[in-house]
Amino acid sequence: MKLSEETEFEAKYNAWVEYINDSLARVITEKEAPEKSIYEAMKYSLTAGGKRIRPVLSLAVCEMLGGDVMDILPYACAIEMIHTYSLIHDDLPAMDNDDYRRGKPTNHKVYGEARAILAGDGLLTYAFELMTDSILKNVSNNIGDGLEARIRAINFIAKAAGVSGMIGGQVIDIESEGRFIDRELLEYMHKCKTGALIKASVMVPAIIMKLDKNDMDCLERYSENIGLAFQVKDDILDVEGNLELLGKQTGKDASRRKSTFVTLYGICEAKIKLENLIYDGIAALEKFGDKAGFLKSLAFYIGKRKN
C-alpha cells in the first residue's frame, strides 16, 4: 500500500473498530440480578479490546456490496461474541493454559475456571439470541427470501463455529500436540480452527444480500486465503513477537511441541506462503474494482500486523 492509502485505511479501520466496540458494549449490560457475576465475566472478555477483524470484515463487505451496515451489525457482533467465547475456553488450563490475553489476565485468572467456562457458554448462546432477536424485531420485513437468507446466514455461522468448523479444528489441534502432522492436515486444521469464522464474517453479508454464485465464489476465495494467512502470521508472531506487543505469551507452540507453519515450512518459507496467500486473496476481489479497496488493504494489514 502507498502511504496515503495506508493512512486512509487505518483511519477507516479504527473508525469501524470504535463503532463495533460501542455496539458490543451495549450488547452485554451488567444487571442487578442474582447471576450478576456472569454478566461481569462475559463483558470483561468481550470489551477487553482486540483487533475486531471479523466484525470489521462483515461491515466492510456489506458496505462494498452497497448494503445497510445496520442490517448486518447483529451478525457481526454475534461473530465477535463467538470468537471471544472461543478465546476464553482456549485459555483454560485444560486447553492452552494461558495467563494473559490482550494484555490482561485471562478470564479464568480473574473469575475462576468454572465461571470462565460459563462466561464462554453465555457468549456463545447470547450470539444466537442476538441474531434471532434481530429477525423477530423486524419480522414484518423479514419475510420470504429475506427470512430464508437470514436463516441461512445463522446456519452458516453455526457450522463455522461447530464441529465441522472451529471446534473440529480445535480437536485436531489438541490431538496433534507432541506429534508430527503433515502440511495437508495442518492446513485443514487451521481452515477449520481459525479460517472458518473469518470465512463466515465475509460470507454472511453476501448470503443475506443474496449475491449470485460468481460473486460468492470470489468472496469465498478471498476469505479462505486471508483466513489461512491470519494463522500463518500468528505462527510467525509466536516465534518473532513478544508479550508486550502481542498481549499474550509467545513461544507456547514450541514448548508444547505443536506443528505450525513455521516448524513445517521454516520461518522464511512461512513468510513466502503468507505473502502468496495475501496476494491470492486480493486477486479474488478484482471483479469488485475500486469498491474492494478497503478489503484489499485489510489483507495487507493481516500480513503486517504486530499483534
Q: What is the pLDDT of residues 254-273, one digit of tens each?
A: 667 788 999 999 999 999 99
- Given this model, what pLDDT does residue 219 score? 98
Its pTM stands at 0.93
Sketch the domain layout of the chain as residue ranges.
Answer: 3-304
In this structure, which CATH number among 3.40.50.360, 1.10.600.10, 1.10.3720.10, 3.40.50.970 belongs to the domain 3-304?
Answer: 1.10.600.10
> Who has greater pLDDT, 147 or 220?
220
The number of C-alpha atoms within 13 Å of 210 and in the hemisphere containing its C-beta is 8
Among the listed ranges 33-37, 194-198, 295-299, which one has the minimum average pLDDT value?
A: 33-37
- Name residue, grid cell 449490560: 29
The confidence band for 3, taking pLDDT boundaries of 50, 70 and 90, is: low
103 or 127, higher pLDDT: 127
Bridge partners of residue 104, in order along the sequence = 101
Question: What percent of the chain has a predicted confidence (pLDDT) above 70?
Answer: 92
Reported as a pLDDT band with limits 50, 70 and 90, residue 30 is confident
Rg (CA), the chain: 19
Cα 104 from Cα 163, distance rounded (Å): 29
Give the C-alpha separation, 185 to 181, whole Å: 6
How far is 299 from 270, CA to CA, in rounded Å? 16
What pLDDT was estimated at residue 178? 85
Query: pLDDT tens, 32-58?
Result: 788 899 999 999 999 998 999 999 999
Comparing C-alpha atoms, which of 284, 180, 192, 267 is closest to residue 232?
A: 267
pLDDT tens digits for range 75-124: 999 999 999 999 999 999 999 999 999 889 999 999 999 999 999 999 99
Q: What is the mean pLDDT of residues 64-85?
A: 97
Joined grid coordinates for residue 147: 427470512
Dihedral sign computed on CA atoms, order 53, 57, 63, 68:
negative
Mean pLDDT of the chain: 92
User: Between residues 57 and 242, which one has the greater pLDDT?
Assistant: 57
Give the pLDDT score at 246.
56
Comparing CA positions, the residue from 217, 297, 221 lying closest to residue 11 is 297
Half-sphere exposure of 89 (CA within 13 A, CB side): 19
What pLDDT was estimated at residue 1? 60
